[in-house]
């Protein structure tokens, strides 16, 4: 069985509250994180992508609480741009060949320190950002090198609600999950927010 930095595959690790409290920006890869990594191209050469609706709901919650989301991806495509526009994601870097450099430029643009960023990645090109950010997150089916440095690993694979899971983990750690749910349901009474898994 693959080991996730001391946590068995399929379990969500525990992140120290002090780390979660400082997160203000969520940075995402696309293929393998917002999608399952598959790429569909029709006979005309048009690329299509499949996104999970719960990830979209999570990003809307995140924005309603006043936080920012950024996407840094090595690919281009209108399907992605349409989806991100729907979700109100303003910071999008596509066609990036050097994600580390793109991340540094993003930090300057938004005026946020690297330690206040949570990055969700799945593969080797994401490593420079994951090493630099405050909260490196890996999806369940990420490359081993990504799993090895992650402070939180989702139980779900990319494209199957992993982003929603990561957002919930952060907001519960910040004590804002009930507030987040109330952006959809004002009568939500809240529930006990137990810690997840073992310390990483």
Tokens read off for 3: 């080991």
Strands 117-121, 47-48: parallel, antiparallel or unpaired by DSSP? unpaired
Instruction: Find, among 140, 123, 137, 122, the residue nearest to 10 by Cα.
Output: 140
Cβ–Cβ under 8 Å, residues 156 and 139: yes
Cβ–Cβ under 8 Å, residues 5 and 200: yes
pTM: 0.85
Tokens read off for 16: 């120290």
- Give residue-wise pLDDT tens across range 143-172: 999 999 999 999 999 999 999 999 999 999
Instruction: Find, among 93, 153, 100, the residue nearest to 125 by Cα.
Output: 100
Looking at residue 48, its pLDDT comes to 80
For 166-184, letters b (16+ CB in 10 Å) and e give bbbbbbbbbebbeebbeee
The widest CA-to-CA distance across the chain, in whole angstroms, is 51
Looking at residue 192, its pLDDT comes to 55
The DSSP element (H or E) to which 109 belongs, if any, is helix 99-110
CA 166, CA 135: separation in Å to the nearest integer? 11
- Give residue-wise pLDDT tens across range 67-79: 999 999 988 778 8
């Amino acid at each position: 069985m693959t080991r996730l930095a001391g946590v068995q595959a399929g379990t969500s690790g525990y992140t120290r509250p002090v780390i979660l409290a400082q997160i203000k920006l969520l940075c995402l890869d696309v293929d393998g994180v917002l999608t399952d990594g598959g790429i569909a191209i029709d006979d005309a050469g048009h690329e299509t992508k499949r996104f999970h609706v719960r990830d979209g709901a999570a990003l809307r919650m995140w924005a309603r609480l006043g936080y920012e989301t950024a996407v840094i991806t090595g690919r281009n495509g209108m399907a992605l741009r349409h989806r991100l526009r729907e979700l109100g994601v303003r910071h999008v870097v596509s066609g990036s060949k050097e994600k580390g450099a793109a991340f540094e430029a993003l930090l300057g643009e938004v005026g946020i320190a690297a330690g206040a960023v949570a990055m969700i990645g799945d593969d080797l090109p994401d490593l420079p950002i994951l090493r630099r950010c405050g909260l490196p997150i890996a999806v369940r089916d990420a490359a081993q090198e990504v799993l090895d440095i992650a402070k939180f690993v989702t139980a779900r694979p990319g494209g199957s609600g992993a982003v929603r899971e990561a957002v919930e983990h952060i907001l519960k750690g910040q004590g804002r999950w009930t507030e987040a749910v109330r952006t959809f349901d004002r009568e939500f009474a809240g529930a006990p927010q137990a810690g997840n898994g073992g310390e990483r």
